Structure 1
């Protein structure tokens, strides 16, 4: 009976090894323990060895993510993080969503490094990966728009944000795109288009109350630019209780006294 049980267990272990579900590699086991105890440099070496020795290992994603966390959040090594993400993107080439996540994060790190052109190039690739994924498309377009704005390229800003609003699958995402669009138009003093974007936003249902209040505040600014002070007062009065900082609204209302 004991012999049959031993043979059965041996057969199971051999089957697991053949299907890739082998017992945890010693390097990986040690790396996990060291990571959980905060010995990150030692665990880094173990995860690296695991990746080198197990090109088809089932825990490679865990190893890559732990190495990235050590590089990015423990060491603050952005250049190393870039190298890891680039390698990860090649390994995840079969999974569009995972590759989008990697490329989106890579674009963010390029921005932290001050490499705006490289960030744009990477995010444009992530935008292609996000096709048929509205949430990821919106996030990428918003990030691209902010970089274009830093570059002073307002044609691309407006194109990205208009596409963002069209791509949005929820009113909340659409409102975010329209608010960013209105803010961008305000930076170039195109107050007519500020009003148009904000009026579209305020016509949407199921939009966060704070977002609606902020949009109303910016719309009041657009009407103030047009010297329509009655409309400004009406808009500001409507958000006395909902604007994130009511004192700002009160100060604006006081400043309007005497304006006709």
Structure 2
């Protein structure tokens, strides 16, 4: 952790307080101008968009994965193993290939567009690609397994006899689910939320390949500053902002765990 995480992060944060070099390197001396430039109107909407997309992705993944984890924990062993295999199966395919598959599927001449037009659900000039909807769809697709697995691990240990007891005491199915099951898998919900949210914050491949110019996230800006503009200090400053955004939910989860153990 020190060699491959702490030191690289420290070096990156240090570069954020250096001046940029016109030749693409790092200039001499120290300055706060690079960090102050993060308040530029160009970056504030990108930071807000990154947090917003990540939050929505996390909420939708939780809504989809909770009933999935519920049914997986209650089904037979054979069905459970089959469902787990289907969830893990996409990881056997390269991430970039899956993104390009979605790009082909959402293409203006792709099969999904023709099907929706044939069903009269969209018009001929509707765009399924290069917009915020495409980014959200692919983000949810890629992050959903990371929400299902920790929730299933928590649901598998849950005593479902408590649900029967709640119904015997007059609770409805939804009330028992909300007041008994959700608190029982709370740790799984927290873990799934942190994993999905943190993973979503650092995405840049998905917005680049299925999003438009107005759908960029902070990761896209870091790549542009590091490789296109060759402004390493500014890329480091943006990376530092992303690091802070990532560390906040992780530290909050750690604090909650320590408080629960105390």
TM tier, shorter chain? under 0.3
| Larger RCO (CA within 8 A; separation ≥ 6) | 2
TM-score normalised according to structure 1 size:
0.23
Larger radius of gyration: 1
TM-score (structure 2 length as normaliser): 0.23
